[in-house]
Amino acid sequence: IISFLAFTTSLKAQEKTMELSLNDAIKYALENSYNTKAAENDILAAKKVKWETTTIGLPQVNAKIDYQNFLKQPVSLLPAAAFDNRTSVVETVEDFFGLTRDSSPPSADGFIPVVFGTKQNINAAVTLTQLLFDGSYLVGLQSAKTYLQISEQAKEKTELATREAVINAYGNVLVAEK
C-alpha cells in the first residue's frame, strides 16, 4: 500500500500544467526544441571551421630551442709525432742565430688524447611564414563561408518548422477546447 501511494504521489508531482499564449508557446518551443539546439550547435561548429580555415592564411611563427649537454665527451687519440714541432723550432733558432746542428732532436712517441667539440651546446631558431597566395586557400575560405551560411539557413528553416508545428498544435488545442 505504501509503495502504491508513493507511486501515485510521484506521478502527480511529475504533472505540470502551463498556460501559455501563442507567442509564449512559440518562444518556449524555440528555446527548448532539440532541433533548434542542434542547429545552433551546427552554427557554432561552422564558425569554428571558418576561423580554422582563416587562420591558415595568417602569419605562422615557429620557435625551436635545442640544448645538448655531453656528460662525457668522446676522446680521440692522435699520434704525438703529428704535433711535434720541436724540429721546426730548432731550425728557426739555428737560422736566426746562424748556428749549425750537430744532431736532430728526438721525435715524440705515443699518442696525445684530444677532445673535439664543446661540453654544452645550444641552438635556437625562429621562423616566420606567411601564405601569400594559394588558390586552394581561397577556395577553402569561400567554402567555409558557404558552410556557415548553409548552417544559418538550416537554423532558420528549423525555427520556421518549429513555429509551424507549435501554431498547428496550439490551433488543435483551441479547437478541442470548444
pLDDT in tens, 21-31: 889 989 999 99
**Which of 74, 76, 101 is closest to 87 using CA atoms?**
101
**What confidence category does residue 50 fall into, taking pLDDT thresholds of 50, 70 and 90?**
very high
Handedness of CA 60, 62, 49, 135 (dihedral sign): positive
Q: Give the model's pLDDT for residue 93.
A: 65
> What pLDDT digit, counting tens, does each position of 90-145 carry?
666 667 777 776 666 566 677 778 888 888 999 999 999 998 888 898 999 999 99
Stretch among 16-30, 48-62, 155-169 having the lowest mean pLDDT = 16-30
- Report d(CA 114, CA 12) in Å as an integer: 93
Q: Give the model's pLDDT for residue 16.
A: 72
Q: Give the model's pLDDT for residue 46.
A: 95
Main-chain phi, psi angles of 107, to 5 degrees:
-85, 150
**What confidence category does residue 4 fall into, taking pLDDT thresholds of 50, 70 and 90?**
very low
- Orientation of helix 135-177 relative to helix 22-32, angle to 10°: 140
175 DSSP assignment: H
- Report d(CA 57, CA 131) in Å as an integer: 5
Q: Give the model's pLDDT for residue 52.
A: 94
Exposed, middle or buried by CB within 10 Å (0-12, 13-18, 19+), for 106? exposed
- Report d(CA 140, CA 29) in Å as an integer: 36
Look at the pTM and tell me if it is higher than 0.75. Answer: no
CB contact at 8 A, 117 and 71 = no
